[in-house]
Structure 1
Amino acid sequence: MERGPEAFAGAAFALFGAGLLLWTGVRVRAGAPVADGVSRPVAAVTALLAGVVFLATGCWLLAAL
């Protein structure tokens, strides 16, 4: 009963983290801004770190099943 919400949360975190990493990579490679009004290196590093944290959290939740 308790594994359903944990699996959903793990999948949601992992998908969001992977999507954020993919989107950030595409934006950086194309030379497009990652965030509006922020310097490119700061925005890219922040988005990459957030993507890694979300992906790691999702994998951790899914591994705990």
Structure 2
Amino acid sequence: MESGPAIFAGAAFTLFGAALLLWTGVRVRQGEPVALGVAPRAAATLAVLFGGVFVLLGIWCFGRL
């Protein structure tokens, strides 16, 4: 993988995943719904799962440099 696209993809995935984890944590701590019309535990669980996947994918992209 070329270094330019790998750096961009790694930064995008890592920032998105970290922001999703932070946003989900704040919403859960405040008792607000994570997604409207969805069971609170299911929404929080899926958001944390996908946030972690995006962070790991970003780290994997950085590891390919």
Unaligned runs of 5+ in 1: none
How much does 1:12 deviate? 0.2
Q: How many angstroms apart in 1 are the aligned matches of 2:3 and 2:15?
A: 18
Q: Which whole-Å CA distance do the structure 1 matches of 2:63 and 2:35 have between them? A: 32
In the alignment, is residue 5 of structure 1 matched against residue 5 of structure 2?
Answer: yes
2:62: which partner in 1? Answer: 62
Normalising by structure 2, report the TM-score: 0.96
Q: CA deviation at 1:7?
A: 0.7
Structure 2 residue 27 is matched with structure 1 residue 15: no
Number of positions where the alignment pairs a residue of Structure 1 with one of Structure 2: 65
Identity of aligned residues (%): 62
- The aligned amino acid for 2:62 is L
Q: Which residue of the partner structure matches residue 39 of structure 1? A: 39
- 1:51 paired with 2:58, answer no
SS at 2:17's partner residue? Answer: helix
Unaligned runs of 5+ in 2: none
- Residues in 1 aligned to 2:25 and 2:63: alpha-carbon distance in whole angstroms: 26
TM-score (normalizing by structure 1): 0.96
Runs (4+) off by over 2 Å: none
RMSD of aligned alpha carbons: 1.2
